């Protein structure tokens, strides 16, 4: 099989057979250990040969409630780990040796549930068992620590002592590692009346990861506060902090926010993976048409470019990717941000500090005295910031910023509502990019469906022969989606649109002219991505309609 698929050469097979004759080792083990074939390729090929599904445990979200049904010792003995329940309620078990009938019978006998075997590499199965065992041990050890202390510590001295105990450290580190492995963007730690709930935001949607006894709340929250350099004794007001750490050879920053609630402090951690800022604009899902329009704006030496959309729509990622393109030795780039999410080499970044009187507006004034070629303002929130940004764009600087509006055309009216003179808005803004993030269909379980012809025809887009839906599988945690893509709308401010801005014309009229002049709306861009099989109609309607 491996020879037929070109994964193994005849010479390597002959060498492996010779070693097998001399040592008596299994042929598959020899092929992998000698580097003749990758373990994943070997196992995937064998899975196809015996008619079972291959699963990569590095790409799936493992259900802790399924794993908990099988003792660790048994899982290690058989190199088998439960990963989820299927639609029929059967226990799906990833196995290194799915032909081991005894293993399947033992797991079925212990759990009392039908077993559906899937094939995984031995390395990934063993690693997954270790990860889940580490997590369970951390929760158990922390519970014992609190029980020994007579309940949840309230005294500050006792609390400070408990947060440095190994169980607390292990639990917090394990939660962060699991969130990163599952591609989460945020971690929500939420105390309730009886328990503590941990949820991960994956592809824009919250999923419950675990619940633990409420008694560990203070120890866990305090550990995070210490890591983020937040006042451990202050529980009455919201606080913000930052954690930098290395997880599995990746440098990751966590933006930490605490919020007092009736049951204790809620903590939200935004995961800022530094590898994501290395993206190029071509990696962000731009259509050729939209990318060409956007490139025509940021390659100019001056003017203002606005990126607009709701919180969490990828505005910062787009701006950082744009700065990556513009960042050259001969260019002076300065940013003012709140907060500075990613550190960028070769760029001067200024952190807003309202307590010290350093606002977006005051920081921008100082930036303009530092001889910048390009200035990035994290967000235009008020008239003063808008006024200074526009004046900078009119005096030979390229200014990049964000704005909270629903689409590109309404951004012009939003600036005018801030009491910026319409003629200044018209003459300074060069382009407005509106965007949303939609979930990408899982390529492993997507199935064809009939397109809604009316929606495509109404948007003047050719009706595709078929579209796709996500069925849900192990790889996407049964959501039907894995990963995200951006939808874009690029409005270029022409002379016609400048005139309409000065006349204070409504946003729908501005949008109509922009469409006539070649703008693709968010809805149209979404439909084009539905037609190409990247996402579903339901998802586009969720984020745009």
Task: Tell me the per-residue pLDDT of 205-228, one tens digit each, with 9 for 90 and over.
Answer: 898 888 887 878 888 898 899 999
> Which secondary structure element, helix H or strand E, spans residue 490, and what is its range?
strand 481-492
Count other Cβ atoms within 10 Å, centred on residue 194.
9
Residue by residue, what is the 3-state secondary structure of 308-365?
ECCCCCCHHHHHHHHHHHHCCCCCCEEEEECCCCCCCCCCEEEECEHHHCECHHHHHH
Q: Is residue 69 part of a domain?
A: yes
Q: Hey, which of 94-108, 121-135, 145-159, 502-516 has the most confident mean pLDDT?
A: 502-516
Q: What is the pTM of this model?
A: 0.71
- Considering the domain architecture, whether residues 237 and 290 belong to the same structural domain is answered as no
Using the predicted structure, report yes or no on whether residue 139 has a pLDDT greater than 70: no
Q: 174 and 118 in one domain?
A: no
Report in angstroms the alpha-carbon separations of 522 from 71, 80, 87. Answer: 50, 46, 35
At 166, the pLDDT band (50, 70, 90 cuts) reads: low
Does residue 244 lie in a domain region? yes
Residues 257 and 330 reside in one and the same domain: no
Is the pLDDT at 398 greater than 90? The verdict is yes
d(CA 307, CA 315): 6
| Dist. CA 439–CA 226, nearest whole Å | 35
Rounded Cα gap, residues 389 and 270, in angstroms: 28
- 232 in Cβ contact with 159 (< 8 Å): yes
The answer as to whether 212 is a domain residue is yes
pLDDT at 224: 92
Helix (H) or strand (E) segment spanning residue 413 = helix 409-417
Considering the domain boundaries, does residue 61 fall inside one? yes
Same domain, 241 and 345: no
Residues 348-370 have pLDDT tens digits of 999 888 888 888 888 888 888 99
Q: Which domain does 116 fall in, by range?
A: 38-125
Q: What is the pLDDT of residue 261?
A: 93
Domain containing residue 370: CATH number? 3.40.50.300
Q: Find the largest Cα–Cα distance for the chain.
A: 88
- Is 425 in the same domain as 317? yes
Write the secondary structure of 357-407 as one string of H (helix), E (strand) and C (coil).
CECHHHHHHHHHCCCCCEEEECCCCCHHHHHHHHHHHHCCCEEEEEECCCC
Reported residue count of the chain is: 545
Final residue belonging to a domain, choices 273, 302, 329: 273
Gap between the Cα atoms of 516 and 535, Å rounded: 27
Residue 19 forms part of a structural domain: no
Q: Rounded to 5 degrees, what angle do the CA atoms 82, 171, 119 make?
A: 20
**Domain total in the chain:** 3
């Amino acid at each position: 099989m491996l020879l037929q698929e070109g994964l193994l050469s005849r010479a390597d097979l002959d060498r492996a057979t010779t070693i097998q004759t001399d040592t008596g080792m299994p042929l598959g083990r020899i092929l992998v250990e000698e580097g003749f074939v990758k373990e994943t390729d070997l196992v995937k090929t064998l899975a196809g040969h015996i008619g079972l599904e291959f699963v990569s445990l590095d790409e799936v979200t493992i259900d802790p409630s399924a794993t908990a049904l099988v003792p660790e010792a048994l899982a290690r003995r058989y190199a088998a780990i439960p990963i989820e329940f299927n639609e029929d309620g059967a226990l799906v078990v990833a196995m290194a040796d799915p032909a081991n009938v005894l293993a399947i019978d033992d797991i079925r006998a212990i759990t009392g549930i039908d077993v559906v075997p899937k094939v995984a590499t031995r390395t990934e199965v063993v690693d997954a068992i270790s990860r889940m065992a580490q997590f369970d041990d951390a929760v158990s050890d922390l519970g014992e620590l609190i029980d020994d202390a007579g309940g949840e510590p309230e005294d500050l001295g006792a609390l400070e002592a408990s947060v440095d105990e190994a169980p607390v450290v292990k639990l917090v580190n394990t939660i962060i590692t699991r969130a990163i492995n599952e591609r989460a963007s945020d971690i929500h730690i939420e105390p309730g009346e009886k328990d503590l709930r941990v949820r991960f935001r994956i592809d824009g949607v919250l999923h419950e990861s675990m619940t633990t006894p409420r008694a560990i709340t203070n120890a866990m929250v305090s550990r995070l506060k210490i890591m983020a350099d937040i006042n451990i004794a202050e529980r009455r007001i919201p606080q913000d902090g930052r954690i930098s750490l290395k997880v599995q050879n990746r440098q990751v920053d966590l933006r930490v926010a605490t919020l007092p609630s009736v049951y204790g402090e809620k903590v939200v951690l935004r995961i800022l993976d530094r590898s994501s800022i290395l993206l190029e604009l071509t990696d962000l899902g731009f259509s050729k048409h939209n990318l060409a329009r956007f490139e025509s704006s940021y390659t100019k030496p001056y003017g203002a470019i606005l990126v607009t959309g709701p919180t969490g729509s990828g505005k910062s990622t787009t701006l950082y990717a744009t700065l990556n393109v513009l960042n050259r030795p001969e260019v002076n780039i300065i940013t003012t941000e709140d907060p500075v999410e990613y550190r960028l080499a070769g760029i001067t970044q200024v952190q807003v500090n309202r307590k010290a009187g350093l606002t977006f507006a005051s920081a921008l004034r100082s930036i303009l005295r530092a001889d910048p070629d390009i200035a990035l303002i994290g967000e235009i929130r008020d008239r003063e910031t808008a006024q200074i940004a526009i004046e900078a764009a009119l005096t030979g600087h390229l200014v990049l910023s964000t704005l909270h509006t629903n689409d590109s055309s309404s951004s012009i009216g939003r600036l005018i509502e801030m009491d910026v003179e319409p003629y200044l808005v018209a003459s300074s803004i060069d382009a407005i990019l509106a965007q949303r993030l939609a979930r990408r269909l899982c390529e492993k379980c997507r199935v064809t469906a009939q397109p809604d012809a009316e929606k495509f025809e109404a948007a003047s887009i050719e009706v595709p022969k078929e579209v796709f839906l996500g069925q849900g599988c192990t790889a996407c945690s049964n959501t039907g989606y894995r990963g995200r893509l951006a939808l874009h709308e690029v409005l270029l401010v022409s002379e016609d649109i400048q005139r309409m801005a000065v006349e204070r014309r409504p946003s729908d009229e501005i949008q109509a002219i922009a469409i006539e002049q070649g703008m693709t709306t968010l809805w149209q861009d979404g439909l084009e991505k539905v037609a190409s099989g990247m996402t579903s109609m339901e998802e586009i309607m969720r984020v745009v309609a």
